[in-house]
Amino acid sequence: MAEMRKVAIVGSARIPFTRAYTGYANESNLSMLAATLAGLADKFGLRGKAVSEVMGGAVISHSRDFNLAREASLDAGLSPRTPGTNLQIACGTSLQAALNLGAKIATGEIESGIACGTDTVSDSPIVFGTKFQHRLVELNRARTPGEKLGTFKGFSFGELAPVAPSTQEPRTGLSMGEHCELMARQWGITRAEQDELALASHQSAAKAYEQGFHDDLIAPFAGVLKDNNVRADTSLEKMATMKPAFDKSSGKGTLTAANSTPLTDGAAAVLLASEEWARANDLPVLAYLTIGQVAANDFAHGEGLLMAPTIAVSEMLKRAGLTLQDFDLYEIHEAFAAQVLCTLKAWEDADYCRDVLGRDAPMGSIDRSKLNPKGSSLAYGHPFAATGARILGLTAKELATEMKGRALISVCTAGGQGVAAIVERAV
């Protein structure tokens, strides 16, 4: 069997992330992803060139998005010989795409790949209820005027009410925010702790912008030049005025709009390659994607909807022969401040590590100064499928420019799943 090859992270590009219904109110998943891939192509000289595979997707999608990765590649000006594969694992979509492409590069199946993701809440599909949908199908199949008229027998105008997009989990009927409230209560996470983490995220993101860190990562699009959710002027006092967003009646709610990610539109992409392909195309190698892990838990029976990354990271570290403390950088996706804090607390908890992670001792704590030092999703926003690529691209650049050695990435997803990865700086 051939020796596994290193998976090089060449670099990344993304369009600015915007709050839903603002900068990209008239854009689509396709237009955003195509713009992102075009930005990546311009950055690395890929216009008209064939990439071995583009893989990515969207969480909120229309039927017209069925061939999204392929169509976006063509619109972006990549060679028509570049295949596109659609993939979706909720918020972990583009990181999972990177792991899949990385495995193909490592085994020699492909030489290069683009992992990507896009999501728009502003262009959410609006659908009718099941009863009216069935009527429309029958109407389309009807041949005679009588048959067409018959499809509306018993019709009521209430059937025309659209079914709004929902973040409810099908197995529980609870939204992600409601699940996270339960997690915060279980782990004793206070609102003050959540607000402090959210404030740090905004301050770190604002500082990264001031230092020019994002200058070569972001491709302006639709007149938007930078993320519009970063709040350099926010404060704990301002955050304290926010009312609970998910538990509004018990008096115990701790999750607010200030310590939860906003609904966001955007897209991101990362270019991966073999070292040989990167050299042949005179491209840099910022870092290596070395190992990854996907995990799931029984969230419907109390394990915590957003706690699966604790399992993914634990299993990944066992395979890698590393401890939780063997990292210079921790990039933990901030779906909610409470979710990050629950994750950190679980790794320190002896009972959880024994009963859930199968470990003899707690995994321990991390150096908080190494956690999301450039800010994360609470500040930048969270276009579901795009977040993994944003984090991976940011991580690779940070390792390369700040001479850090190894980074851990953790992304929670809907459905009680988690995706984790390890990235190491190119030496």
- Active-site annotation, residues: 91, 382, 412
β-bridge pairing 264-273 and 406-413: unpaired
Q: Provide the residue type at 285 as one letter.
A: V
396 vs 269: CA distance, rounded Å: 13
Of 390, 383, 333, residue with least CA distance to 27: 383
Which positions ≥6 away from 308 have C-beta within 8 Å? 295, 296, 297, 299, 412, 413, 416, 417, 418
- The SS3 assignment for 205 reads helix
For residue 127, the surrounding DSSP H or E stretch is strand 127-128
Listed residue (64, 120, 7, 1) closest to 426, CA to CA? 7
Q: Which amino acid is it at 178?
A: E
- Using the structure block, give the residue that is written with the tokens 């953790």: 410
Secondary structure (DSSP) of 374-407 = T--HHHH-B-GGGHHHHHHHHHHHHHHHTT--EE
Length of the chain: 427
SS3 state at 408:
strand
